[in-house]
Structure 1
Amino acid sequence: MADKPSFVYVTYIESSPEAVWRALTDADLSAAYWGHSNVSDWQPGSAWEHRRTDGSGIADVVGTVVESVPPLRLVTTWAAPDEEPVRSEPSRVTFDVQPYGEIVRLTVTHEELADAAERDEAASGWAAVLSNLKTFVETGAPLPQEPWLVP
């Protein structure tokens, strides 16, 4: 059986690992640059949700915290809520936050994707979100236009 597709994105951020970790795990901060709040207690085995910020409380992505080593590593499963399972296992996202001299090297690995089309969608989404995260952490404000909304 062929390996399932994966996607890896690396970016460098003028910040500390602690600030990047907070941006990834604090519901208010993630809402500011992602358009969704990442909600969990971030303990291994705990549930997490990627909730809309429109007041509906709807989660577009749900999963489980697999590994949490603040401020250096976060591993979560990702699945769509309330849908028939498309696959037997959810995809998996790993955030590796590493000091890199006076900056941070953030590596995001999205694994166990269903197919090449899902990998392409993930690649587009992660590029937009992580560009906005980088800008937000470095400047205190997100990009003036949400990059995922540009046609």
Structure 2
Amino acid sequence: MDNKPKIDYVIYVEGTPERVWQALTDPGLTAAYWGHSNVSDWQEGSAWEHRRTNGSGIADVVGTVVASQPPRRLVTTWADPGERGGTEPSQVSFVIEPYNGIIRLTVTHENLADEAERDEAARGWAAVLSNLKSLIETGHVLSARPWEMP
């Protein structure tokens, strides 16, 4: 994974580690701010899916829980469910660090295929994490889906 593109994204959220963990792992909350439900039992070695919320049950991303240390650290692999063999999945790490009533959430997405995928992931994470921050701090998501902004 060392030579492939990666991104590090950091946000600061007013909240608790438990609330941020819940926002990352609760299917209902992820559906609210991400437009997909993250579904798993969140145990190391378990599968997880990033399912559409339109009732189709289609997973746009699948992976495995690599590390699960609630409420401080979550690591998952990310892959297109249609890809079979030969392609190593990317990996996403969420590190939740409390400090005086705020949280530093660091998201690292590594082992990306190329710079184009890195740029797409960077835009996506900025939008999704802005919506997560809004939900945790205000109780509601942004008034429009930020990832749809041209």
TM-score range, shorter chain: over 0.9
User: Which residue number in structure 2 is paired with residue 124 of structure 1?
Assistant: 123
Question: In structure 2, what is the equivalent of residue 112 of structure 1?
Answer: 111
SS in 2 for 1:31: helix
Q: Where in structure 1 are there 5+ consecutive unaligned residues?
A: none
TM-score by length of 1: 0.96
1:77 matched to 2:46? The reply is no
Per the TM alignment, residue 84 of structure 1 is displaced from its structure 2 partner at its CA by 4.0
Provide the TM-score with structure 2 as the length reference.
0.97
Partner of 1:57: 57
2:137 match: 138
Counterpart CA distance in 2 for 1:17 and 1:128 is 21
Deviation above 6 Å: which 4+ runs of structure 1? Answer: none
> Secondary structure, in 3 states, of the residue corresponding to 2:62?
strand
Count of aligned pairs between the two proteins: 150
Equivalent-residue separation in structure 1 for 2:3 and 2:83 (angstroms): 24
Aligned CA-pair RMSD: 1.3
Structure 2 gaps of 5+ residues are: none
Match of 2:43, as an amino acid? Answer: Q
Quote the sequence identity (%): 69
What is the CA–CA distance in structure 2 between the aligned matches of 1:108 and 1:83, rounded to whole Å?
A: 24
